[in-house]
Structure 1
Amino acid sequence: MKSIIDIFSPLKSDLITNNAVLYKTALLKRDILSFLIIQNKGTIAELSQATKTSIPKINETINELITEGLVIDHGKILNGVGRKPNIYGLNPNSAYFLSVEVNRHNINIAILNFVEEIVHIERDIPFYLQNTPACFESLCHHIDTFIEKHANDRHKIVSIGLNLTGRVDHVSGNSYSYFNFHSTPLREVLTQRFGVPGYVENDTRAMAFGEYAKGVVENEKNILFINLDDGIGMGIIINGALYSGKSGFAGEFGHMPFLNNDIICHCGKKGCLETEASGVALTLQMKEALLKGISSSITEKVNSIDDIKLQHIISAAKNDDILAIELLSKAGEKIGKGIAILLNLFNPELVILGGKIATTESIILLPILSSINKFSLNLVNTDTSFKISTLGEDAGLIGSSLLMRNRLLDLS
């Protein structure tokens, strides 16, 4: 059985000029798979109409895709009258994508199949993100261990995607915030290290794309995804396409410098939104409040104040802890003011809140909406819907696999 990479290599190789037949066949196969990705299943007649290709040619190409293991014949349609056509769909196990999400204190790794289903996953693997060769080697070790444990068909893993916080240019494959000490782009380092094409993306953009394609989005095409986690990020969808900016830096919402404080952000500037409203800021504020003698149920869950993490605050808030709710409310007011500026700039159809802090739902959403009503233009905010992510912590892993699949099939 051919590798899926070999099947579509004419789309990206010199065969474009040297063998037009192979190129046209690869294009048709891509179009058929694209139709099945969107529609889930289809008949020969539907595929012929969608691709504007003759039925005999579609029939021949479908048979090739079945032989190559990418398409499954689901048999004949049971309903209706007259001659029943066969219906075809993607083979979920024809290819696997390895998605790796690196957070500041943990990593999540998953294998997803060709129809975006999570086959194996490990969440919250302890990890401390640093921009050092030792940290990168530790990450690679975790990935190797995961593959050894879960990838029985390792040869079917066709790509590895790495979601990183900070500034990432997916086009060049460079990460400018972490693991940027190699002589080649990080994408190429991953490719050489694991023997399959690598893909690097900003974590929030991957989450935004996952939510857009498989999550809470319905028919909206202009969307802002706000990632409320240890940091604050933003993914931008314009006319259904993920927007990255000229150098891949678009969406640095957490570094909007509109707060009047002297707190130095990790980016080196003062007054960034992250300095008072991010998960890191909330954790620091909680520790300072407890040291001042303010009570919280969190003290019963940790050995010392130094052990407090963002998840403790979120859990406490969900269990009606007054201090945790108060801190989240104050953060929500600042986040809402920032989003109000974004609404005035982008006038989006939908704003999605994701990340760990968004799991508190109404606790964070209500102060955000209150602040938006106060600071944004009324005509703008009433024209925008607000929703909480439905994919939750899996959004980035799913988004990464979708982006890898699109890249493999050369889809925009």
Structure 2
Amino acid sequence: MTPKHRILRLLRDEGPLSRAELGDRLELPRTRVAVELERLMAVPLVHEAGPAASRGGRRSTLVELHPGIRFAGIDLGVTSIDVEITDGRLEPVAAFSEASDIRSGPKTVLSRVGEILVKLKDEGAYERLNGIGIGVPGPVSFRDGVPVSPPIMPGWDRYPVRELLTREYGCPVVVDNDVNIMAMGERCAGVARSAENVLFVKIGSGVGCGIFIGGELYRGPDGCAGDIGHIQVEPDDPICTCGNIGCLEALFSGIALERDATAAGRSGTSLALAQRLAAQGSVTAKDVAECAADGDTTATRLIRDGGGRLGGVLAGLVSFINPSMIVIGGGLAGLGHVLLGEVRSAVYRRSLPLATGNLPVVLSELGARAGVAGASFLASDFAFAEAAS
């Protein structure tokens, strides 16, 4: 990492600092810091921010990231688009969310992303973008910036997402899967910011896991580490979207829970779910959570069964990785403490005491914002690295 890159990251994470403080923090001579700052001011990525607090004698001048820096964090879900514009310190400036269908294909979805960015620009959120981070709900070649054989994203295989966005917006673009950007958001700005070894589990339409080891996101050599939704937990049915049988995702995910809740409503096993199915024509994970909260035993059992299966998979990962924290996020985290209690129970029961004695299993702090926050953080890292090279 070059001195300029280190300066930019430090100002992003710590806020305005004097030249002397930068030199001390980075262990660089003040003359070197002065030279690097002049170069960054010329771009411009930093500027002077007024005098520092007096320590006696002449007051030094603070420097900070330029106020015009803007990053776009984009989180593409199976059924949603979330966009957030942040400043250089990753504080939100503007945001927009709407329902979408990832199966409508990359041209349709990315065209809509472009329209949203134009709307936010017209509203004054930014003049130009310094970097874009985007997450998609499927496997990604992080090196190439393309989705690879995503099972629930028809038409996206090898689609040049990074190349097209770079050409369109003239700034660095980073593409990752949605779980990794959510994990990054929670690690950098959420409940896991003080933990070095973290498993972030996203339970939504699919199931995945972001893995931090020693404070660094681990993607694996091909970018598909953490795809725990396709770990087999049953030897037979149901068939998963990946083509295999008995995967965790086929048994417990947003899609699986809606399938099982619909079956319970149709069979009359759950009167509460049957009433909602008759009134609405369908039932959702939110319906299951509300019915469970009202005391419906079938809805509660569906949540507990799913939490037990997820906890069983996580118990194996705890024995293998020995994380310092597990964070549960995604849409099904809204199932709340019934789900969390079952996951905790399975993890603590099936893992060795040495691995779980100081292991918190908690719900996401950022919630729906985790993805856009992580995408902006990744965008800033890549933009600062490119600007400092």
Same fold (TM over 0.5): yes
**Equivalent residue for 2:132?**
160
Aligned length: 382
Q: Could you tell me which runs of 5 or more consecutive residues in structure 2 were left unpaired when the two chains were aligned.
A: none
Deviation at 1:28, TM superposition (A): 3.4
Residues 101 and 298 (structure 1 numbering): CA distance in 2 closer, same or farther, change over 3 Å? farther
The one-letter code matched in structure 2 to 1:157 is L
The one-letter code matched in structure 2 to 1:41 is P
Write the deviation string for residues 202-256 of structure 1: whole angstroms up to 9, x where unpaired.
1001111111111112432111111111211000001111111111111011111
Residues 156 and 380 (structure 1 numbering): CA distance in 2 closer, same or farther, change over 3 Å? same
The answer (yes or no) to whether the contact 1:110–1:122 under 8 Å persists in 2 is yes
Deviation at 1:198, TM superposition (A): 2.8
TM-score by length of 2: 0.89
Task: Provide the C-alpha distance between the structure 2 equivalents of 1:34 and 1:295, rounded to a whole number of angstroms.
Answer: 53
How do 1:223-372 residues align onto structure 2 when only pairs under 5 Å count? 223-295=198-270, 297=272, 304=279, 306-318=281-293, 321-372=296-347
Deviation at 1:172, TM superposition (A): 1.6
Residues 28 and 77 (structure 1 numbering): CA distance in 2 closer, same or farther, change over 3 Å? same
Q: Please say which of residues 369-378 and 289-298 is displaced more in the overlay.
A: 289-298
The one-letter code matched in structure 2 to 1:265 is C
Task: Provide the C-alpha distance between the structure 1 equivalents of 2:170 and 2:58, rounded to a whole number of angstroms.
Answer: 47
Q: Please say which of residues 374-383 and 273-282 is displaced more in the overlay.
A: 374-383
1:169 aligned onto 2:144: no
Residues 59 and 246 (structure 1 numbering): CA distance in 2 closer, same or farther, change over 3 Å? closer
Write the deviation string for residues 79-135 of structure 1: whole angstroms up to 9, x where unpaired.
6444332333223x3322222212112221222221112221122x121222xxx52
**Equivalent residue for 2:82?**
108
Residues 221 and 273 (structure 1 numbering): CA distance in 2 closer, same or farther, change over 3 Å? same
**Equivalent residue for 2:190?**
215
How do 1:79-228 residues align onto structure 2 when only pairs under 5 Å count? 80-91=55-66, 93-123=67-97, 125-130=98-103, 135-151=105-121, 152=124, 155-176=127-148, 177=150, 178=153, 185-228=160-203
Deviation at 1:179, TM superposition (A): 6.4
3-state SS of the aligned residue for 2:96? Answer: strand
3-state SS of the aligned residue for 1:145? Answer: helix
Deviation at 1:69, TM superposition (A): 4.0
Q: Please say which of residues 214-223 and 201-210 is displaced more in the overlay.
A: 214-223
Deviation at 1:195, TM superposition (A): 4.2
Q: Please say which of residues 161-170 and 290-299 is displaced more in the overlay.
A: 290-299
The one-letter code matched in structure 1 to 2:80 is N
The answer (yes or no) to whether the contact 2:261–2:299 under 8 Å persists in 1 is yes
TM-score by length of 1: 0.84
1:382 aligned onto 2:357: yes
3-state SS of the aligned residue for 1:371? Answer: helix
Bigger RCO of structures 1 and 2 (CA < 8 A, at least 6 apart): 2
Q: Please say which of residues 143-152 and 200-209 is displaced more in the overlay.
A: 143-152
Task: Provide the C-alpha distance between the structure 2 equivalents of 1:210 and 1:218, rounded to a whole number of angstroms.
Answer: 9
3-state SS of the aligned residue for 1:230? Answer: coil
**Equivalent residue for 1:15?**
none
The one-letter code matched in structure 2 to 1:98 is A
Deviation at 1:194, TM superposition (A): 4.3
Task: Provide the C-alpha distance between the structure 2 equivalents of 1:373 and 1:144, rounded to a whole number of angstroms.
Answer: 46
Q: Please say which of residues 150-159 and 202-211 is displaced more in the overlay.
A: 150-159
The answer (yes or no) to whether the contact 2:131–2:382 under 8 Å persists in 1 is no
The answer (yes or no) to whether the contact 2:105–2:156 under 8 Å persists in 1 is no
Write the deviation string for residues 269-288 of structure 1: whole angstroms up to 9, x where unpaired.
00101121111111111100
The one-letter code matched in structure 1 to 2:92 is I
The answer (yes or no) to whether the contact 1:318–1:360 under 8 Å persists in 2 is no
The answer (yes or no) to whether the contact 2:265–2:275 under 8 Å persists in 1 is no
Q: Could you tell me which runs of 5 or more consecutive residues in structure 1 were left unpaired when the two chains were aligned.
A: 1-10, 12-26
Residues 323 and 72 (structure 1 numbering): CA distance in 2 closer, same or farther, change over 3 Å? farther
The one-letter code matched in structure 2 to 1:100 is I
The answer (yes or no) to whether the contact 2:318–2:355 under 8 Å persists in 1 is yes
Report % sequence identity.
26
Query: Which of 379, 392, 409 in structure 1 is aligned with 2:367?
Result: 392
**Equivalent residue for 2:53?**
78
Task: Provide the C-alpha distance between the structure 1 equivalents of 2:380 and 2:351, rounded to a whole number of angstroms.
Answer: 38
Task: Provide the C-alpha distance between the structure 2 equivalents of 1:294 and 1:334, rounded to a whole number of angstroms.
Answer: 21
The one-letter code matched in structure 2 to 1:352 is V
The one-letter code matched in structure 1 to 2:19 is I
- C-alpha RMSD of the superposition: 2.6
Q: Please say which of residues 302-311 and 138-147 is displaced more in the overlay.
A: 302-311
